[in-house]
């Protein structure tokens, strides 16, 4: 089980990451809006702008997904179940949580869920 100090550390990391993602989302959304207003002179400009918009859109999707995971982890901290695997209900290793603060599964269960989704 995680100590109160460890929980506070993870909560602070999650909150910091949430702020960063929200900033990124605002910036990327503004960039996409700016691209829509560009006057593109030729097919090359259009192709370059389109490719960049696709990449930015993919980044937005990924960042929103991570933001949802962070919100879930923050809720788990409040509910006293942070760091507990959603599948086997065993504690998730501290090292795993340090790498992925919003991990929902222990290593063993993560491997099982990845195999099921393929």
The pLDDT tens digits for 60-106 are: 889 999 999 999 999 999 999 999 999 999 999 999 999 999 999 99
Give the chain's radius of gyration (CA, Å): 19
How many CA atoms, within 13 angstroms, populate the side-chain half-sphere of residue 47?
3
Rounded-to-integer distance, Cα 38 and Cα 95, Å: 46
- In contact, 49 and 75? CB cutoff 8 Å: no
| Residues contacting 35, CB < 8 A, separation 6+ | 49, 52, 53
Give 90's DSSP letter: P
Rounded-to-integer distance, Cα 103 and Cα 85, Å: 8
Q: What is the distance, to the nearest Å, from the Cα of residue 84 to the centroid of all Cα atoms in its chain?
A: 19
The pLDDT tens digits for 25-68 are: 888 767 666 666 666 566 666 566 666 667 777 888 899 999 99
């Amino acid at each position: 089980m995680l100590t109160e100090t460890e929980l506070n550390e993870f909560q602070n990391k999650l909150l910091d990451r949430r702020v960063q993602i929200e900033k990124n989302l605002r910036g990327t959304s503004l960039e996409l809006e700016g691209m829509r207003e560009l006057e593109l002179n030729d097919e090359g400009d259009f192709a370059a702008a389109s490719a960049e918009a696709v990449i930015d859109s993919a980044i937005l999707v990924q960042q929103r997904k991570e933001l949802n995971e962070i919100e879930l982890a923050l809720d788990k901290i409040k509910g006293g179940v942070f760091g507990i695997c959603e599948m086997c209900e065993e504690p998730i290793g501290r090292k795993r949580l340090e790498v992925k603060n919003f991990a929902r599964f222990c290593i063993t269960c993560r491997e099982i869920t990845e195999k099921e989704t393929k």
